Amino acid sequence: MTFKSKPVVTVQQHILQEQMRFPGASGEFSWLLSGITLATKLIQARIRRAGLSDILGEHGDTNVQGEMQQKLDVYADEALVHSLGTRSSVGVLASEENEHPVILQQHISEDAKYAVIFDPLDGSSNIDVNVSVGTTFSIFRKPDGVQSGDASSWFLQPGHKQIAAGYVVYGSSTILVYTAGRGVHGFTLDPAIGAYVLSHENIRMPNQGSYYSVNEANSESFPEAYRTYLDGLRKGKLNKTYSTRYIGSMVPDFHRTLLKGGIFLYPPTKKFPDGKLRLLYEANPVAFIAEQAGGLATNGKQRILDIYPESIHQRTCLAVGSKVEMEELMRCVVEG
Ligand code: FBP
């Protein structure tokens, strides 16, 4: 194998090459993203040794969602706030673990033009049992006319305003997937060199898959239309036999859907009539990636990326996946 046949391209190189397309690009953006790659390398190092160090179990506090924080939730949050806090182009941060956005005081200057919102560790219920979890991130530009101090308003923009988004899966390997609006690319962390190396260039979601992913334990409380839809999938309505896969961590469940096709959904339930997942740091990043890869994402009523958020931690119903399965879902829900 020579580097000619398989060049080693790191995520930083890839972003810089992408940026070269834009005259006057400053490199700030790749510097920002290097904050995310640094933090997720720190997080994955802790996860890989979780059973050997005192990092498993509850931290003792609850977060704004009323969920008991896991020690790794808090560590991951601190790693991202620390790493992004040193990037002067970042004005405001927001996280699943913090009720209010974090204003990076010393940076509310003119060159602070980006807002980053993230779920430091998605799939917390799977941490202690060594099942894949993930980190998500979504990046916005400071909206025009917004007062620097009004931190929330940096984030209260529809998902189609995201300038970049992505996630990291901590699974059999660690892979970072991102889009900056020009396709979707995947980088696998090479532990030998400690760098994210391009492994999946220009990912396209298959037009139809053979898996559906939903917590069927909740199906009794799904609206009729969703039950009809899932029944149709099981009965071969889309001229295909479907199997089901559900990890219970959105990021790896979505990652499988991105690579293999099919559909991942969290419909309205009795416990979560407006959906469980959070719009800004769970639904928006995967919706942006899905659409960039040829898929679709909806809350059952509208395109996820067209929803105008009212609050940082608002929840939404989510269905995301391949065109064939998504169009059938929208037919069922609209006709439902
Ligand atoms: P957090 O762990 O970050 O709160 O994420 C929520 C989540 O764990 C998603 O990753 C996952 O898709 C969903 O909740 C699982 O919910 P349920 O156990 O109700 O199926």
**Residue range 266-289, pLDDT digits in tens:** 999 999 999 999 999 999 999 999
Whether residue 41 has its Cβ less than 6 Å from ligand 1 = no
Which residue has a Cα nearest atom 12 of ligand 1? 250
| In the predicted structure, residue 206 carries a pLDDT above the cut 90 | yes
The DSSP annotation for 30-90 comes to HHHHHHHHHHHHHHHHHHHTGGGTTT-SEEEEE-TTSPEEEHHHHHHHHHHHHHHHT-TTE
State the distance from the centre of ligand 1 to the C-alpha of 277, rounded, in angstroms: 7
Burial of residue 264, with CB atoms counted within 10 A of its CB: 0-12 exposed, 13-18 middle, 19 or more buried: buried
Q: Per-residue pLDDT tens for 278-319?
A: 999 999 999 999 999 999 999 999 999 999 999 999 999 999
State the distance from the centre of ligand 1 to the C-alpha of 250, rounded, in angstroms: 6
Whether residue 276 has its Cβ less than 6 Å from ligand 1 = yes
Whether residue 215 has its Cβ less than 6 Å from ligand 1 = yes
Q: Per-residue pLDDT tens for 223-258?
A: 999 999 999 999 999 999 999 999 999 999 999 999
State the distance from the centre of ligand 1 to the C-alpha of 75, rounded, in angstroms: 19
Pocket test of ligand 1: the residue of 43, 277, 279 to mutate, having most ligand atoms within 8 Å of its CB, is: 277
Contacts of 79 (CB under 8 A, 6+ apart): 39, 40, 42, 43, 120
Length of the chain: 336
Asked if 39 contacts 60 with a C-beta cutoff of 8 angstroms, the reply is no
Distances (CA, A) of 211 to 89, 202, 248, 266: 41, 22, 15, 15
State the distance from the centre of ligand 1 to the C-alpha of 251, rounded, in angstroms: 9
The pLDDT, as a whole number, for residue 15 is 84
The pLDDT, as a whole number, for residue 105 is 57
Element (H, E) at 11: helix 11-20
Strands 243-244 and 211-213, sheet pairing: parallel
Q: Per-residue pLDDT tens for 161-191?
A: 999 999 999 999 999 999 999 999 999 999 9
Q: Per-residue pLDDT tens for 31-46?
A: 899 999 999 999 999 9
* Tally: H helices and E strands in the chain: 7, 15
* Model confidence band, residue 97 (pLDDT cutoffs 50, 70, 90): very high
| In the predicted structure, residue 61 carries a pLDDT above the cut 90 | no
Average pLDDT, the chain: 92
Whether residue 119 has its Cβ less than 6 Å from ligand 1 = yes
State the distance from the centre of ligand 1 to the C-alpha of 256, rounded, in angstroms: 16
pTM of the model: 0.96
State the distance from the centre of ligand 1 to the C-alpha of 247, rounded, in angstroms: 9
Alpha-carbon dihedral sign for residues 45, 70, 171, 278 = negative
Among 64-78, 140-154, 225-239, which is the least confidently predicted range?
140-154
Nearest to 34 by CA among 92, 87, 111: 87
Partners of 122 in the β-ladder: 134
